[in-house]
Amino acid sequence: MHPKIFQIGSFYLPTYGVILALAYLTGIALLVRKAEREGLPRERIVDLSLSILAAAIIGAKLLLAIVDFSEYRRDPRSALELLRSGGVFQGGLIAATIVGLWYIRRHRLPMWKVADMAAPSIALGEAIGRWGCFSAGCCYGKETSAPWAITFTDPFAHEAVGTPLGVPLHPTQIYLSVNALLLFAVCQIVYRRKSFDGQVFWIYVLGYAITRGFIESFRGDLVRGFVIPDVLSTAQFIGILMAAASIAMLVVLARRARAAA
C-alpha cells in the first residue's frame, strides 16, 4: 500500500487520484473507440464522456455525504474529507446514468445503443480504479485469517480513512476489482451477441447489483450506514433497487424489440 506517490513538504501526489484518472481515461478511450466503429460523432461522445465523468464524481461524493451525514453533523470539519474521498461508487453510477441519458436524449443520440457501449467502459474503469482504493486503504475488509489476507501499515491511511493497521483484512478492493473485470468480460461478450439495444447496460447494472451485495458482506468500513442494522447495508439496499430496475428494464426492452420485429 502506497497512498502517496511522492511528497514535497505538505504537498503530496495521491496514488488514488492518479489511478482514478487512469481509470477514467481508459474508460473514455474504450467508449470513443466503440462509438467510432458504430459511426457515431466523436465530438458528441467525448462531450458525453466528460459529462458522465463530472456526474460520477459529484454523485459518488453526494451519496457519501448522505450516508455519513450524522458524522459530518457531529464534526463539520470532517466534511473536508469529501474533497479527498472518492465517494460511493453506486452514487456515481446512478448520477452518471441520469446525466448520461439526459445528454443522449438532448442530442438525439441512440440512447440504449450508446448505453450498451458505455457499460464495458464503466466496468473496466472500476476494475482499474479499485487499485486506487487498495493503495489508499479505503473500502477495506473485515478481519480474516484467510491466507490471502492483506495487512495495512501506513499511518496516513488510518488517519485519512480509518484503515485498521497491523490487522489481516479481506482485500475487498481486489475482490471488487476482479469482479469488475469479470463484468467487463461479460459485457464485451454480450455486446457482440446482444439481441436488443439496452441489453448490455442493464445486464451490467444487474450483475453489479448482485455481486456488490455479496462482496459487501466482507467489507469492514460499514460505518457508512445500514438500512436494517447489521443485516442490510445502505449499498445492499441500493443494490436491491438497482437489480429490480434492471430486471424490469430488460423485460420492457426485450418486449419492445420483439414487437418491433
Task: Kindly list the domain boundaries of the chain, sorted by start residue.
Answer: 4-260
Residue that is written with C-alpha cell 453506486 in the block: 90
d(C-alpha 105, C-alpha 100), whole Å: 9
Q: Taking all residues of the chain, what is their mean pLDDT, rounded to a whole number?
A: 86
In tens, the pLDDT along 151-173 reads 999 888 888 778 899 999 999 99
Query: Is 241 in contact with 212 (CB distance < 8 Å)?
Result: no
Residue that is written with C-alpha cell 445500514 in the block: 226
Residue that is written with C-alpha cell 441500493 in the block: 238
> What's the confidence (pLDDT) of residue 261?
76
List the single range of 9-13, 23-27, 65-69, 118-122 with lowest mean pLDDT.
Answer: 65-69
70 pLDDT band, cuts 50/70/90, is low
Query: Is 120 in contact with 50 (CB distance < 8 Å)?
Result: no
> What's the confidence (pLDDT) of residue 82?
56
> What's the confidence (pLDDT) of residue 10?
75
In tens, the pLDDT along 19-61 reads 988 998 999 999 999 999 989 998 999 999 889 888 888 888 7
d(C-alpha 253, C-alpha 152), whole Å: 46
Query: Is 87 in contact with 54 (CB distance < 8 Å)?
Result: no
> What's the pTM?
0.84
> What's the confidence (pLDDT) of residue 206?
96
CA 14 to chain centre: 19
Q: Read off the DSSP letter of residue 86.
A: -
Vertex 50: Cα angle to 49 and 51 (nearest 5): 90
